[in-house]
Amino acid sequence: MAKPQEKVSFGTRLKQIGQVFSFTAKQDKWFVPLLLAAVLIPLALTVLLVILFGWIYLAIGIMVTLLAAVIVLNLRSNAAMMNAAEGQPGAAASLIENMRGDWRVRPAAASTTQFDMVHVVIGRPGVILLAEGNPQRVRGLLGQEKRRLAKVIGNAPLYDYVIGADEGQLPVRKLRTTMMRLPRNLTGKDVNALDKRLGALMARPQMPKGAIPKNMRPSKGAFRQQRPR
């Protein structure tokens, strides 16, 4: 079941806004000028309306100014996040985990030692597989994961996407929009049942495909130490 969202205090919310502001300002050189324009222009119009027609327009002007600032912050911060996420391993799973709605995400349900991975997402559309990494290797992972999930998903729709910027791939910046446009094929009860079945299937972790990195291999002396004398 989806966990209920915890209440966030006012101080924590202000801290989060400050972090988003700082991050966006570093990533987007146009953010601060656009934010200043979004604040100063409505304020100037508010002052003009107050002088001409009275104080009744002060509250309206402040509300419009705050709304314009929030819109600029939201749009530019989302764009900055998408630009920073492109090419980062696990970016697709992280974006889905922070989306609104009931999305059950299992990051890197299948993976290789070269950081190729397939994330499994369960939601009202059905089961969605998101592959990140080398296109040739992740397509093999996708095929394996499809065959594994086919045993338990029944008639639930199955979608798959390869995340990337090349032809035939889904860019990270379009991932949220694509997910929200998928049809709602399942009820909440169906999602819960499907989540339980997939949870049982994935309880046994899979070993990553590929050669074991040298720093993860046991030393030669480790085997000698384990032998009985």
Q: What is the pLDDT along the chain (229 residues), one digit of tens a residue?
A: 444 445 657 788 788 888 888 988 888 899 999 999 999 999 999 999 999 988 888 999 999 999 999 999 988 888 887 777 676 777 888 888 878 888 999 998 888 888 889 999 999 999 999 999 888 888 888 899 999 888 888 889 999 999 888 888 888 888 888 999 999 999 889 999 999 988 888 775 554 455 445 544 445 454 344 444 4
How many CB atoms sit inside 10 A of residue 32's CB?
Answer: 14
Q: Output the pLDDT for position 206.
A: 53
Q: Output the pLDDT for position 8.
A: 58
Q: Output the pLDDT for position 164.
A: 84
Task: Please give the torsion angle defined by the CA atoms of residues 86, 87, 88 and 93, in that order, rounded to the nearest 10 degrees.
Answer: 70
Q: Output the pLDDT for position 66.
A: 94
User: Which tokens hold the place of 222?
Assistant: 């480790």
Q: Output the pLDDT for position 85.
A: 67
How many CB atoms sit inside 10 A of residue 22's CB?
Answer: 10
* pTM as predicted: 0.63
User: Which tokens hold the place of 58?
Assistant: 């002060």
C-alpha 152/C-alpha 111 separation (Å) is 20
3-state secondary structure the chain: CCCCCCCCCHHHHHHHHHHHHHHHHHHCCCHHHHHHHHHHHHHHHHHHHHHHHCCHHHHHHHHHHHHHHHHHHHHHHHHHHHHHHCCCCCHHHHHHHCCCCCCEEEEEEEEECCCCEEEEEEECCEEEEEEECCHHHHHHHHHHHHHHHCCCCCCCCEEEEEECCCCCCECHHHHHHHHHHCCCCCCHHHHHHHHHHHHHHCCCCCCCECCCCHHHCCCHHHHHHHCCC
- Contact by Cβ (8 Å): 103, 123: yes
Question: Backbone phi, then psi, for 122, in 5-degree steps?
Answer: -115, 130
